[in-house]
Amino acid sequence: MYNNKIMKFKIILVLTILFSISIVAGSLYTKKLVDELPSISNLENYTPSIVTRIFDRNERLITELFVERRVLVPLKDIPVDLQNAFLATEDNDFYEHWGISTKGILRAFVKNLLKGKVAQGGSTITQQLSKTIFLTAERTLTRKIKEVLLTIQLERQYTKEEILQLYINQIYFGAGGYGAESASRIYFGKSVRDLNLAECAMIAALPKAPNYYSPLRNPERATKRRALVLSRMRELGYITEEQEKEANEVPVPTEKHTQEQTSGHYFVEYLRILLEPKYGTNVLHKGGLTIYTTLDIKMQEAAEKALTEALDKFDQEHLSTFEKEGVEPKKVQGAIMAIDPKTGAIRVMVGGRDFKETKFNRAVQAKRQAGSSFKPFVYTAAIDTKQMTPATPLEDEQMVYLFDGTTWNLVSRKVSYIEVLAEKMTRDEVIDPMKIWYPVNYGGKYRGNVLLREALARSLNTCAIEVIDKIKPNTVIDYARKMGIKSPLTNTLSLALGSSDVTLQEMVSSFGTLASGGVRTEPYFITKVIDKDGKVLENNLPVEKEVLSPETSYVMTNLLQGVVKNGSGYAARQLGRPCAGKTGTSNDSVDAWFVGYTPQIVAGVWVGYDDRTSLGSKVTGGSLACPIWTTFMKEALKGYPTVDFTQPTNGIEWALIDPKTGLLALSKTPNAYLETFLEGTVPTMYCTQKNQYDEKVIAEEAEENEGY
């Protein structure tokens, strides 16, 4: 008997000790878990990943940058039907429990027991939120305990409304959508605040198994799941039986409504490259920025279409060339850039024909020889310094230059380089081939004496060399810099023929200086950046600087209009409105250019192969790039009024000119035309061709036209 009592005492003692140990161990374990929990106070600064939205100049959405596609909305903007749908489906005791629902756990336990498997969980909305934000998805007892502890803390620190708002904005709804706002846009193409009852039920039906119940994947399954949500809402008194019936009759969505980016890929990538160093990758892709840009998406789409169609056609036409040479056909590339000349705002940026194939942006990254499209810098310098006028006579003749070790010297204007070599050889003079230069015109034709206007319109190389030789390359470089060229430029006569590499953006911006009356505007692409809280992070305005007089700009514009009307830019006449521009073709037809403008838009087109293969001996900027420019501009300018370039109120004079001599013409001079001049540069002499007029008539008409 005594031994039995001793035995019972020992057992009770052991059990008491074990119980005490377990209590202590449990407390220590719980303390350890509590110490390991993330601080609930972090939720004060918690910002879920939010999409950055990028808009064009008319606030049309271009694209979204995101890791998780989410847009935050306050609870007041979330329909009551949607809130009730979540409560009915996920946690109908939400406003009654303290974070853990005893009813829910018991209900789930019974259902799971009856079905013999885990068919339903007992997690509350607060539990799901704590798990989603703070914990991993692992299924362990430790994680479950942490979840409960976090849930209790959340309920103590936040109101039910705050918890519900966080939950609705946090959870995943399938198809890449996080939060109810993104889900609403994806499935219904509208803001969450505009959802009807049927749509609210469909949204609330998704979180349990977003992919499984997705109406985009299985409409029938989604319809049944939505019906279950509506049934629960009716059972709990949130809706009537009639409302349930009407909502069930509405078809579920079967197409994704989210706007996927279809154009402007090069522009967005350019924007990303420039903004990431400023704001950081996390802020740009997760911070919910709103970025308003200068891009005009309609113009952008027109540019991409014009370029793609023209280059596809070019590839087809030149396919046989590659087949004859036995090499694999390659795709020609191209780029288009358009800027508002008054502000510098970038309206269009096409860096290639297919962003998926290559992200190399040929509008801003590629440097290519500009060819004759560089000549306007030469003539602008000559006009602005008043060393020449549009009526200055130039010699379009063969020319040969020899290098004496220091400078290039013109040795002949009448004979070919072969004849020069032959003459030197008769004197036993040896000439280094690298020290002889003989620029030629396209097609090898020469027209003798021409006026500067015709030389520019016909893009005569020898005349451009004559001009730069007179005013000096350094002068041309200074003007190119002032107008917007930033790339290195060679201090050589060949600069007049576009021998230096430049970018399309530089060329377009520089021509914009002429289009804006001599005011250079720095190209820019962002007007405003706003953070998720509505704070303006940057607000950009045009940066302007007057670098040319309005008068010089007007004279040059008038000359470049002549390129379109009577010269190499003839294809641009199809635009049907006043425009000015210049074609360009580099050596061996490697690059084809056209840069032109109206008073509203300045745009440039470049076409070429990335590996600098020739486009073909008959391909020029006028035949390839200019038609693309014209096609694009026709669409880009739809809705814009047809306006002419404005003449400055002072500083411009007009005079009737003889097209052969560049002198003042008389009334009977054949083909006389009106020419524009900077004030004080009009010719003072009259044409005196005796074979046309006697001296008396010349004198009389000269007196009559004295003040013309």
Q: Which residues are catalytic?
A: 90, 372
Instruction: Give 395-406 as a DSSP string.
Output: EE---EEEE-SS
Cα–Cα distances in angstroms (integers) from residue 683 to residues 223, 388, 526, 672, 686, in the given order = 85, 11, 48, 14, 8
Question: CA–CA separation, 694 vs 687, rounded Å?
Answer: 12
Helices (H) and strands (E) in the chain, counts: 23, 23
Integer Cα distance of 389 and 368 in angstroms: 30
Look up residue 629 and give its two tokens: 């420019």
The CA distance from 110 to 120, in Å, is 9
Tokens of 50: 């939010």
CA distance 332 to 478: 34
Q: How many CB atoms lie under 10 A from the CB of residue 223? A: 18
- What's the CA dihedral at 549, 550, 554, 556 to 10 degrees? 20
Cα 327 vs. chain centroid, distance in angstroms? Answer: 34
Give the residue ranges of DSSP H helices in 280-351. Answer: 281-286, 297-317, 319-325
Tokens read off for 453 = 């206007």
Quickly count: other Cβ atoms within 10 Å of residue 706's Cβ: 9
Number of neighbouring beta carbons within 10 Å of residue 688: 15
Determine contact, residues 636/338, Cβ cutoff 8 Å.
yes
Distance CA 134, CA 572 (A): 62
Q: Which amino acid does the sequence have at 507?
A: M
- Do the Cβ atoms of 580 and 645 come closer than 8 Å? yes
